[in-house]
Structure 1
Amino acid sequence: MMSPVTDTAEGISRQLHRALTHRHIHFIALGSAIGTGLFYGSSGAISAAGPGVVFVYLLGGAVVYFMLRALGEMAVANPVAGSFAEYCRRYLGGWAGYITGWMYAFEMIIVCLADLTAVALYMEFWFPDTPSWVWVAVSLIIVAAANLASARWYGELEFWFTLVKVTAVVAMILGGAAILVFNVDTGGSPGISNLWNDGGVFPNGVSGVLSSLILVLFAFGGTEVIGVTAGEAKDHETAIPKAINTVPVRILLFYVLAILVIVSVTPWREITGEESPFVQIFSSLGVGWAASLLNVVVLTAALSAINSDLYGAGRVVFGMAREHLAPSVFARLNPRGVPVTTVSAMLVVLVIGVALQLWNTTAADLFTSIAALATFATVFVWLMILLAHLASRHGWGDRPPVDPDTLTFRVPLWPWGQYLAIGVIVLTFGTMAWMADFRSALVAGVVFIVSMTLLYPLTRRHARPGVSRTASRA
């Protein structure tokens, strides 16, 4: 276990408050897997793989599950600030913790930029003449207020955001099922036969499957925030396992079943990406205001993503600062247990980033270009989590292996589930190198790793050997 914080400065000696209840953790876990990647991004995955994309979502879901179980095992045993960045530092070494934490912060910032510009894009639907910066500002005010107030307010906001998203997905599934069961006339040709009667289950072959795999894994990005909440959960030994154990059901219901309904009701070639597959389902039911309804949902999904990403990145960088892997100013907490300096700095970066990008390009172009950059960072962080878990169990380096008998929440199918997840992630990297559409994201990720590695010696200069900290309060 880690020793308590020993700093004398008041702002640094404060600790995170355990303010997140089981309800918060459960809905954070639920909402983290439901975002714009499902509501809009699913059309790209369907176009790439065809009806067989259902199996790609199953494979991607398996990767996410084993990654989260690995993270959950470490988080329940050691609920620390910084979460997976700290586990990587502990079991893989200083550089691994450093690069994982900053890669996650990088991922969250660019995803936030994409979602902020998406908010501006969505609001144009109702207010085409209002400048984009107005909606960006309103969005930042909402999520900043929740994140700067306390972890509890972040959890409350995420609870209501998730409730809207879950309701939309369930409504779409029930609507699509009604079309199939009662043979509703939609003007098209709905039916289970759409899964195989137009080129087969995988009409675009291996290349289509691999291309869709990248999009599917990106859609699952953000689920690792469950581990970050361990340091502020009131009952992490119960709340975290319960939340992670719902992952298979959530993936089967909100992704696999939703996509299965979509490709059954609408032939896959008709899902062009010009509108969300969800809009097509509601339109088939004669819901004339389907576009307006979905706009509310995707707007909620974008705000939810910004809310969670800001929270996750802030806590990870805070934990890194406590280990001298980030500037020490980011290790300060206000009396409410919020890393206000870290969250404020990220808000400033977001404001500058959005301002520069909106000045140079349109919101629609910006969303597409920025979102592509997050793919590499997402799977890289997952890979480092899995490697840290393997290192903890096998005792790589100077540390003795963790005794499985001392663990209250252990991964299933050890170690084959971990090897499967790592294999799929490595395959994803290979696909990004092979396919020109994703090569720029791979190059950007490698450049970021190299650049941050060159800065790593600066952090070592300020590190104090033998000092290990925690920032959680029971």
Structure 2
Amino acid sequence: MDPMDTDRGRAASAQPARSAPAARPAPAVAPPPKPGLQRGLTARHIRFMALGSAIGTGLFYGSAGAIQAAGPAVLLAYMIGGAAVFMVMRALGEMAVRHPVSGSFGQYASRYLGPFAGFLTGWTYTFEMFVVALADVTAFGVYMGFWFPDVDRWVWILALVLFIGAINLISVKVFGEMEFWFALIKIAAIILMIIGGIAIIAFGLGNQSEGAAGLSNLFTHGGFFPTGVLGFLACFTIVMFAFGGIEVIGITAGEAQNPKQVIPRAINSVPVRILLFYVLTLTVIMSIQPWNTIDGSASPFVTIFDSLGLTGAAHVLNAVVITAAVSAINADIFGAGRMLHGLAEQGHAPKAFTKLTRTGVPWLTVVTMVGALLVGVLLNVWFQEQIFFLIAALATFATVVVWLMILLSHIRMKREIARDGRLPSEFPVPLWPAASYAAVAFVLFVIVMIGIVDSTRPALIVGVIWIVVLGLAYRTFVRGRGRQPHQLVDETSPISVVHPAD
């Protein structure tokens, strides 16, 4: 007898019993599905987040400090730093495509380096976003002072913090749209500024003094290395701050609609972006205005056109740099909030941080970041003159520590892939392993320079204290109590595999 006939007979004989009204319980109302992080970020959103994530305060305002430290040689520093950043992003991209999860590199560090490494990475990134946001709100107050010099800086900062907090509480799609338009404004403005700057250099528009604008300004005021080798090396402590926050692209993996396609495209745009938006832009700026006249009292983008008598252009550029600051703070709060959510999922942060709104926003993390940023209001009241560059140094330390953990997690992952004979990655880093180890060496060099330079040494001290505090917190509140990171699904084609060790 055909076994399938037997099975069908059993199913038929069982059918009346299952369908009898007396045997069927009254239908229950299904509970609503538990909200989770929504994949509301499209390719357009993430592509422009990638284009705009490193175009912010570090370029529009912090570049003045880097120029003061190294002169025209800062162009070379941006190229070297940009190459290292690209390697960090490719390492993060390979892990994000393989394991697209919320919490991103915090969870990768937990998986590949151990629970404390994940705890350290996640909280240090949150600290980085907090400090970078402090720098951004401080710069925002400076920019508003260009238009309203008699209004206290803290007034603008308070209003901005409350506005950004409200935006981040709506939905991730609203955040993505806001970042898209802000990035579009920044990119268009920089391109127009480059075109206008080249016109000034070539035709002397708005600048009638002989020899005042031209590429010769890169070499005639003390040479290309006017502050010597030490000044050139010291500028990396500010240059790397400019790239801080770019790793938010990895954070988007948990909310991207198609992370395997959009994240690689976004990351591969990094080298062109650095050459265009940093190297070319600062070349134009230092060609128009000698590097030793850029004092950092306002954005060099604004002061250059203002000093040339192009006040209309200066006002437009001031509006652009304000847009850039708002965009950066928006991304800072987003990144910190999603990282705290991932930490809470692992038991490395209070469980309350996992609570979401109906639209999938981790609301308590946003409220916490907004509350922390109110500290920036007080700091700008108490330490108005010194605050920005100390914050920038702190942000640089936190940034490079996070990058170091990303690189080490990636190296460990690559070793496991080779050891266990797993499928190769779909988005592997180039020049493995030499370029990855070179990037690690560069990150360690930046940490050393933070300690060597007098003005940034306090940031290293604070950073070391931060790591010690994290170690004590982990030992007291997490060790033996926090959960291990949940299994990371290996989504490498042609099949998706969950490895038992994961």
* 1:246 and 2:250 are equivalent in the alignment: no
How far did 1:122 drift? 2.7
- Note if contact 2:213-2:288 (Cα within 8 Å) is conserved in structure 1: yes
When normalised by structure 1's length, the TM-score is 0.90
Deviations 1:142-196 (A, max 9, x none): 2122211111111111112112211221122111211233354442522223332
| One-letter identity of the residue aligned with 2:249 | I
2:10 counterpart residue number: none
* 1:71 and 2:89 are equivalent in the alignment: no
Deviations 1:191-214 (A, max 9, x none): 223332333321222111111111
Q: How does 1:396-415 map to 2 (within 5 A)?
A: 401=419, 405-415=423-433
| One-letter identity of the residue aligned with 1:265 | I
2:173 counterpart residue number: 152
2:105 counterpart residue number: 84
Cα distance in 1, alignment partners of residues 278 and 443 from structure 2: 19
2:252 counterpart residue number: 229
Cα distance in 2, alignment partners of residues 16 and 324 from structure 1: 18
| One-letter identity of the residue aligned with 2:170 | A
Q: How does 1:287-306 map to 2 (within 5 A)?
A: 287-306=310-329
Q: Comparing 342-351 with 207-216, which one deviates more in the overlay?
A: 342-351
How far did 1:313 drift? 0.4
Q: How does 1:325-404 map to 2 (within 5 A)?
A: 325-351=348-374, 353-358=375-380, 361-395=382-416, 401=419
Cα distance in 2, alignment partners of residues 414 and 196 from structure 1: 37
SS at structure 1 position matched to 2:455: helix
SS at structure 1 position matched to 2:359: coil
C-alpha spacing 1:125/1:30, structure 2 compared with 1 (3 Å) = same
Deviations 1:24-46 (A, max 9, x none): 00111111110111112112212
How far did 1:280 drift? 4.3
Which of 481, 485, 502 is the matching residue for 1:462? 481
Q: Comparing 164-173 with 211-220, which one deviates more in the overlay?
A: 164-173
How far did 1:349 drift? 2.1
Q: How does 1:195-210 map to 2 (within 5 A)?
A: 195-210=218-233
How far did 1:443 drift? 0.5
Cα distance in 1, alignment partners of residues 306 and 424 from structure 2: 54
Q: Comparing 286-295 with 384-393, which one deviates more in the overlay?
A: 286-295
SS at structure 1 position matched to 2:94: helix
Cα distance in 1, alignment partners of residues 40 and 335 from structure 2: 15
* 1:445 and 2:467 are equivalent in the alignment: no
Q: Comparing 74-83 with 271-280, which one deviates more in the overlay?
A: 271-280
2:215 counterpart residue number: 192
2:198 counterpart residue number: 177
How far did 1:77 drift? 0.9
How far did 1:11 drift? 11
- Note if contact 2:111-2:485 (Cα within 8 Å) is conserved in structure 1: no
1:427 counterpart residue number: 445
- Note if contact 1:392-1:401 (Cα within 8 Å) is conserved in structure 2: no
C-alpha spacing 1:127/1:177, structure 2 compared with 1 (3 Å) = closer
1:5 counterpart residue number: none
Cα distance in 1, alignment partners of residues 288 and 199 from structure 2: 10
C-alpha spacing 1:118/1:100, structure 2 compared with 1 (3 Å) = same
Cα distance in 2, alignment partners of residues 302 and 274 from structure 1: 16
C-alpha spacing 1:61/1:173, structure 2 compared with 1 (3 Å) = same
SS at structure 1 position matched to 2:147: coil
Identity %: 50
- Note if contact 1:393-1:403 (Cα within 8 Å) is conserved in structure 2: no
The answer for unaligned runs of 5 or more in structure 1 is 1-9
Cα distance in 2, alignment partners of residues 402 and 144 from structure 1: 45
- Note if contact 1:79-1:236 (Cα within 8 Å) is conserved in structure 2: yes
Cα distance in 2, alignment partners of residues 292 and 455 from structure 1: 47
Cα distance in 1, alignment partners of residues 198 and 101 from structure 2: 44
Deviations 1:43-97 (A, max 9, x none): 2212221222111110010011010010011001111010111111111000110
Cα distance in 2, alignment partners of residues 410 and 71 from structure 1: 10
SS at structure 2 position matched to 1:149: coil
Which of 76, 89, 107 is the matching residue for 1:55? 76
* 1:312 and 2:335 are equivalent in the alignment: yes
C-alpha spacing 1:393/1:279, structure 2 compared with 1 (3 Å) = same
Cα distance in 1, alignment partners of residues 47 and 393 from structure 2: 29
Cα distance in 1, alignment partners of residues 69 and 32 from structure 2: 51
Cα distance in 2, alignment partners of residues 56 and 343 from structure 1: 35
- Note if contact 2:61-2:139 (Cα within 8 Å) is conserved in structure 1: no
Cα distance in 1, alignment partners of residues 184 and 360 from structure 2: 26
C-alpha spacing 1:364/1:435, structure 2 compared with 1 (3 Å) = closer
* 1:161 and 2:182 are equivalent in the alignment: yes
Q: Comparing 310-319 with 417-426, which one deviates more in the overlay?
A: 417-426
The RMSD of aligned alpha carbons is 2.4
C-alpha spacing 1:432/1:402, structure 2 compared with 1 (3 Å) = farther
SS at structure 2 position matched to 1:309: helix
Cα distance in 2, alignment partners of residues 182 and 460 from structure 1: 66
When normalised by structure 2's length, the TM-score is 0.85
- Note if contact 2:346-2:485 (Cα within 8 Å) is conserved in structure 1: no
Deviations 1:201-248 (A, max 9, x none): 212221111111111111111100000011101111111011111111
Which of 259, 274, 281 is the matching residue for 2:297? 274
C-alpha spacing 1:264/1:124, structure 2 compared with 1 (3 Å) = closer
| One-letter identity of the residue aligned with 2:199 | A
SS at structure 2 position matched to 1:73: helix
C-alpha spacing 1:86/1:293, structure 2 compared with 1 (3 Å) = same
| One-letter identity of the residue aligned with 2:395 | A
C-alpha spacing 1:102/1:197, structure 2 compared with 1 (3 Å) = same
Q: Comparing 204-213 with 108-117, which one deviates more in the overlay?
A: 108-117
* 1:255 and 2:255 are equivalent in the alignment: no
Q: Comparing 176-185 with 158-167, which one deviates more in the overlay?
A: 176-185
- Note if contact 1:172-1:281 (Cα within 8 Å) is conserved in structure 2: no
C-alpha spacing 1:321/1:401, structure 2 compared with 1 (3 Å) = farther
Cα distance in 1, alignment partners of residues 288 and 149 from structure 2: 32
- Note if contact 1:72-1:240 (Cα within 8 Å) is conserved in structure 2: yes
